[in-house]
Chain A
């Protein structure tokens, strides 16, 4: 147990340090933040209207928060986690770790924890840029963490399935797109129809209900069930595949 914790500590430290030195990380932080800043220009008129109309304010805040959540989770998982694991496979460092008596589970756990922490940091930065009142921050950050769990599990599987960083680009794109669908739900009815059933659809719906003040156990049941289902899918996929995928190229 002590040896496992020691190895996990070493892996967490290594992954966290590596992330700070990784140029891809800069993109994963800058892109969501830049998108939120861009929204302020794109939605200049609705924002002006929202100042005097509480109904528009709820709509606009919902749009900004859903975007902040989806961009943070989607960009960080697809750009740091999937690419990060693929890079380790490509350069055989994952194999070196395995041969140094580190288990695939320990590697995945460390990468998952670092990815979750990074997602929350990027999410907090994006939240600050939305201009939404800080009263919503605890709920936003909690829902970001909850929504990130299934995406991280899927990201771990896809990262381990990637032979190299080129393949990671191929596998990461669907995850990113799937994460971004709920962003467009408030402005595109077609997206709204499927958004609720995407990995982040449940938490975005909970966020909207919170903003509207209509979060009741009945209303929350379906979004929570969708989120739980995605967590289950991610966990099962990870459990079934991680040992096989964590093999040498």
Chain B
């Protein structure tokens, strides 16, 4: 335990040496590193400190992160999912997983993995005949066989529909609770924020921590009831300024220092700040579910919880988007909308 704390302190020291500077939303007293000079530094720093980390980053950074994970994992059990993982085409799902189960030392675990990842109906199918979503599930089933201590995934949710996403996020949540450290790369920040651990985004080769949610740092504007008034949200689409009806907006996302309104699966940048948007939209049934997200509560189909601290809101929009719900705001949301 002491060694682990030393390792954590050393890793955070390394991050500071790597040029860390306060980024937006720095968590005050805990003083976690909020900026890293490279993907490799980030992985070394965060994994070394025993924290899972999720990156919105370029392809080159994904590779650097993967190599750093290999280096940091060392002799620990590690499992990797790379987005272009092929699979042995002439194998079936069952024979493929049995092979990796034998490599992992537990031949019987294959059947359990097939069931857990919902591949029972496809167990006899050739790997070459699987859909993109099934291939991802197969890769996660393969990783699960190794009982990994460290897990690296490239764009883990990219090909997944709502059900498969729930299975994968559920597994990540359960493994995370059991102590597995995750490094995921290449996904949009919104998806990075769904994972247990910290999220970072890349800007000109540097990695900045996504805004850390701190429910106490801002005074929340008082909810003023259901008064209705005319309101349009100005957003850009090329050279055209769109005036969006709040009811059309699924959610607001803040990413890379730009705020976007999501309408029917498309993101439109808006010049309004998150606080201004929150103030305007609150009366239309919107809720600030995370520092970087404001959700149209009418569009929320379900609330999912994968770990003690991880909540997701799944929307009924065109893309069945998943948004992070901060732990501190989950209670407030329940109270405001009188959910039991």
- Are A and B bound to each other? yes
Contact pattern, A 6-28, Cβ under 8 Å of B = 1, otherwise 0:
11011001100110011000000
Chain B residues near A10: list those with CB within 8 A: 99, 102-103
A1 proximal to B (CB < 8 A): no
Residue of B80, B82, B86, B87 most packed against chain A (CB within 10 A): B86
- What is the CA–CA distance of A91 and B78 in the complex, to the nearest angstrom? 21
Cα separation A93 to B138 with both chains bound (whole Å): 13
Interface check B146, CB cutoff 8 A: yes
New contact pairs (4) apart from A91-B87, A92-B86, CB-CB < 8 Å? A9-B102, A93-B88, A95-B85, A99-B79
* CB-based contact A14/B99 at 8 Å: yes
Q: Is B284 an interface residue (CB 8 A)?
A: no
Binding site for B on A (CB under 8 A): 3, 6-7, 9-10, 13-14, 17-18, 21-22, 90-93, 95-96, 99-102
CB atoms of B82 and A95 under 8 A apart: yes
Q: Kindly report which residue of chain B lies nearest to residue A17, judged by CB atoms.
A: B95
Known: A6-B105, A17-B95, A100-B146. A92 touches B90 (CB 8 A): no
How many residues of B sit at the interface, in one of the four size bands?
20 to 34
Contact residues, B16-47 vs A (CB, 8 A): none
B90 engages A6 (CB within 8 Å): no
- How many residue pairs link A and B with beta carbons under 8 A? The number is 56
- Answer whether residue B171 sits at the interface, using C-beta atoms and an 8 A cutoff: no
Asked if B89 lies at the interface with its beta carbon under 8 angstroms from chain A, I say yes
Determine if B227 is an interface residue (Cβ-Cβ < 8 Å). Answer: no
Interface of A is mostly: helix
Query: Which residue of the partner chain, among B88, B102, B103, B105, contacts A18 with CB atoms under 8 Å?
Result: B88
- Determine which of B70, B84, B86, B105 lies in contact with A3 in the assembled complex, contact meaning CB atoms within 8 Å: B105
Contact in complex: A22, B90 (CB < 8 Å): yes
* Neighbouring B residues of A21 by C-beta, 8 Å: 90
Chain B residues with CB under 8 Å of A22's CB are 90
Given A92-B82, A100-B146, check contact A7 B89 (CB 8 Å).
Answer: no
Assuming the A-B contacts A92-B82, A92-B84, are A102 and B90 also in contact, with contact meaning beta carbons closer than 8 angstroms in the complex? no
Residues of B within 8 A of A7 (CB): 103
Residues of the A chain whose Cβ atoms lie less than 8 Å from the Cβ of B78: 99, 101
In the complex, chain A residues whose CB is within 8 Å of the CB of B104: 100
Q: Which residues of A contact B91 (CB under 8 A)?
A: 18
Please give me the residue from chain B that is nearest to A92 by CB atom: B86
